[in-house]
Structure 1
Amino acid sequence: MTTPATAVPHAPGRLPVLGHVVPLLRDRLGFMQQLRGHGDVVQIKVGPRSVFVVNSPDLIWEMLTAQSANFNKGRLFDKLRLFGGSPLPIAEGQQHLQRRRLMQPAFHRERINSYIDRMGATAEATVRTWQPGARLDVLNEMQLMAQGVVMSVMFSAEPDRDPAQAVMNSVDTVFQAAIRRAVVPVSGWERLPLPGNRKLRAANTLLRRTVSDIVAAHRAAPAPQDDLVSMLLEARDEDGRPLDEDEILSEITALLAAGSETTAVTMAWLFHELGRNADLAQRLHQEVDTVLAGGPLTAEHLPRLVLTRRLVTETLRLHNPGWIVTREANVPVRLGTAHLPAGADLVWSPYALHRDPELYPDPLRFDPDRWLPERPQPPRGAYIPFGAGKRMCIGDAFTWAEATVLTALVASRWTLQHAPGTDVRPVPAITVHPSSLQMIAEPRTPAAARKAA
């Protein structure tokens, strides 16, 4: 049981320090939510380190936009170098700017529309393996589906299920190691020959081999393929030099990992909510049956899938995958009344922010209709599922499109109901994922669903 956060007496003009807590080892989500009641910026102790938690949506927005140059990505992202190199999610300064400009064309909205058919076809390959009445590990199925979409659309690769599962397991191993190393305030054990460290090395070896094979296949192709791998192979820096092999491998590996995790976790939570709200599930089925009319999903359908989109929006609010995001001050900075020294560690929690009762009425209720245009909307900075500013996730539009496609595709074929005895709890790891999500797949029976199958 986590010790309740209690303000320690402090001198006038200084931040409260919350002491005697071990928040990152026990009830992490409850602790982050509890901190919101202690002020706009709160100082906590994590072992020997001081960490500043930013709660105010205005100050979070300021940190990510107007003052973004005063911060680097911080401790958590530094630990994600376990994937190798300094890929886009980790890169800083000029390197980040150059790499983002290089990769941005692959994520333009017009380009994303061209991906829709392949997204649907790739997801269909996973859905086709489901059997009526089968008990599914829904998170695992969504991870395989999302990973397959990234590999197909961005890498022109379509691994079989067993190799894909091995890649997914390796990504999870690296993510688990990254979050552990970010929150545990001791060092040195990473270099010891412990079982966890050996497992991490094996996972990195498999990922490296998988990505190397993808790159080799592209190099051997008679004509370049129209995907992100070809874009990286053809890229040249300001001096006309190509990216070196390690840079290419790092970018592809990081994109494979990041591009699979957020979408998969979001989809798992979405179907969890539909499974315990039959009325919402029925409304979704009616929408996809009407819009798709039994045919394949295309880019033209997306603007008409308005409820589907709101379901994704609400899932990213109530079940935001990010329970902790880090920053580090490059210089002395001021956030509101807080004066923070250079080198200060800062964190903010999208998960806690999106559940704040001062920002959202009845915040723990899953209500996609809160996003209807006629309903009052949260203030700026209160809903930022992909961050903001120059470090906003490059794949946000890709994820919106992918999640909409996957939701509509599954709903057009299947109804997912919770398996008896399933106890679903949020687990804060690299993302907030369901502890266990066992669901029973039942085929849809409406005429439109039968025609689509």
Structure 2
Amino acid sequence: MPLIGHAVPLVRDRLAFLQDLRRHGPIVRFSVGPKTVTAINSPDLLQEMLTTKSRHFSKGLLFEKLKLFGNDALPVAEGSRHLTRRRLLQPAFHHQQIDHYIRTMYTTVDPMIAAWRSTGPLDLKTEMQLMTQNVVMAALFSTTPDRETGHAILKSVDTLFAAALRRALLPLPLLERLPTPGNRRARRAGRVMRAAVGQIIADHLAHPDAHDDIVSLLLSARDQDGTPLADEDILSEVTGLLAAGSETTAVTLTWLFHELGRNPDLERRLHDEVDAVLTDEPLTTQSLTRLTFTRRLVNESLRMYSPAWLVTRQATEPVRLADVDLRVGEDIVWSPYTLHRDPALYPDPLRFDPDRWLPERPQPPKGAFLPFGAGKRQCMGNEFALAEATLITALIASRWRLRPVPGPAVRPIGAITLHPSALHMTAQARTPGRRHEEAA
């Protein structure tokens, strides 16, 4: 349409609009107001853009707006700053650290899962968000908030994410500075986040020998000239990790149990595996590797309901993809959600089928499954997230059957992550053959 371009269908149904773009080819240009945006649909071109030609691109508009969480935190940092921070934080996510985190994950979430017996219908997304938020805080920051504080942090994260997405989809910088209700909510949410994270940092400063975690790592880090990180940098990194580390895993788990509620045969297979694998021995990385069906459920949830449904990039210099020349400053988007539902890449893509990930089944081509991105910007917490999702799925299944509450049909909503329109479920206790209890 004149002046506004494709803004109406994009706002009306973002997911359907992006899905429809795939039928127009591997590279498609559309407009939002005066701005032209280029969508990349081809797995080959995505792999090229994210790996061999990644130096030609910055993270783009969405990540620029996510600086609401911290101006130069690792998830939004660029260039040499990103490389320096990634090298600093990478050891905390090394696979050898996962065993240590698994014990913390267990002691954090098991009481939360057990407490469901005294509740009514669960708002499943909120429960999963609180659970994964507590895991990040306990494992990486050595702190676990009470439920009221956890809710306040969670509400602030949701508010800032919503503001970032709104500003990215309809970029009107002037409006971002006006005292609108949305801007006031975002500023209040930012203050709550800074206060919560500031308290964590203050506790570490007051007890410097009591912790060995990411906050300690940041406080002890030094630049090449021996200068410690600025207070604002530490605050930004902790805030960014808290926001990025909880939301995506939470919605993955929410979708997983939604599908189990619709597929009793899959739920039965999960219960059989959990009852056979979880014993009286403490959970370890090794025991999680035996939960092969559970892991396939996680993978299929990541495929069908990819949390990061929209990813942006921006060309920082002229670059060519296929036969298309991209200009400096050109805004680029790609959608793992539509990529993972392409029938040319996945047979029967709208069917939730964890067995498509069996090793003997044909696997999607390289670049066709990107739940954590690829290349130098690939999420470095991917092993942490996969272990967390597998563990939480198994622990819930060892205690409960989650049953959907009658209501409106559940629809995917493309907010900052892909979440259900509403999902309430009741927890019915089950008595497995064997149930894991933490060893004394």
| Superposition TM-score tier, normalisation by shorter sequence | over 0.9
- Cα distance in 1 for partners of 2:114, 2:381 equals 27
- Cα distance in 2 for partners of 1:97, 1:452 equals 39
Superposition pairs of residues 258-337 of structure 1, within 5 angstroms = 258-293=244-279, 296-337=282-323
Change (3 A) 1:397 1:352: same
The yes-or-no answer on 1:170 pairing with 2:156 is yes
The yes-or-no answer on 1:104 pairing with 2:86 is no
The yes-or-no answer on 1:142 pairing with 2:128 is yes
Alignment match, 2:401: 415
Moved over 6 A (4+): 450-453
- 1:320-359 per-residue CA deviation (whole Å, 9 max, x = no partner) reads 0122100000001100011111110000000000000000
- Cα distance in 2 for partners of 1:186, 1:206 equals 25
| 1:388 Cα offset (Å) | 0.2
Alignment match, 2:330: 344
The yes-or-no answer on 1:427 pairing with 2:417 is no
Q: CA RMSD in A?
A: 1.8
Alignment match, 2:12: 26
Report the residue type matching 1:82 in the other structure. Answer: L
- Cα distance in 1 for partners of 2:14, 2:105 equals 35
| 1:198 Cα offset (Å) | 1.2
Change (3 A) 1:404 1:415: same
- Cα distance in 1 for partners of 2:43, 2:181 equals 41
2:280 and 2:438 in contact (8 A); partners too = yes
- Cα distance in 2 for partners of 1:438, 1:83 equals 29
Provide the TM-score with structure 1 as the length reference.
0.94
Change (3 A) 1:418 1:277: same
| 1:296 Cα offset (Å) | 4.7
Superposition pairs of residues 51-450 of structure 1, within 5 angstroms = 51-131=37-117, 134-293=120-279, 296-449=282-435
1:224 and 1:230 in contact (8 A); partners too = no
1:174 and 1:204 in contact (8 A); partners too = yes
- Cα distance in 2 for partners of 1:306, 1:20 equals 43
Alignment match, 2:23: 37
- 1:135-161 per-residue CA deviation (whole Å, 9 max, x = no partner) reads 000000000000000000000011100
Report the residue type matching 1:321 in the other structure. Answer: P
1:49 and 1:185 in contact (8 A); partners too = no
2:303 and 2:340 in contact (8 A); partners too = yes
2:302 and 2:371 in contact (8 A); partners too = yes
| 1:449 Cα offset (Å) | 3.9
Report the residue type matching 1:303 in the other structure. Answer: T
Q: How many residues align?
A: 438
SS where residue 195 of structure 2 aligns?
helix
Unaligned runs of 5+ in 1: 9-17
- 1:121-148 per-residue CA deviation (whole Å, 9 max, x = no partner) reads 1011211221267200000000000000
| 1:306 Cα offset (Å) | 0.3
1:318 and 1:364 in contact (8 A); partners too = yes
| 1:84 Cα offset (Å) | 2.3
Question: How many percent of aligned residue pairs carry the same amino acid?
Answer: 58
2:317 and 2:328 in contact (8 A); partners too = yes
2:124 and 2:423 in contact (8 A); partners too = yes
| 1:106 Cα offset (Å) | 0.3
Provide the TM-score with structure 2 as the length reference.
0.97
The yes-or-no answer on 1:46 pairing with 2:32 is yes
1:275 and 1:281 in contact (8 A); partners too = yes
Change (3 A) 1:66 1:137: same
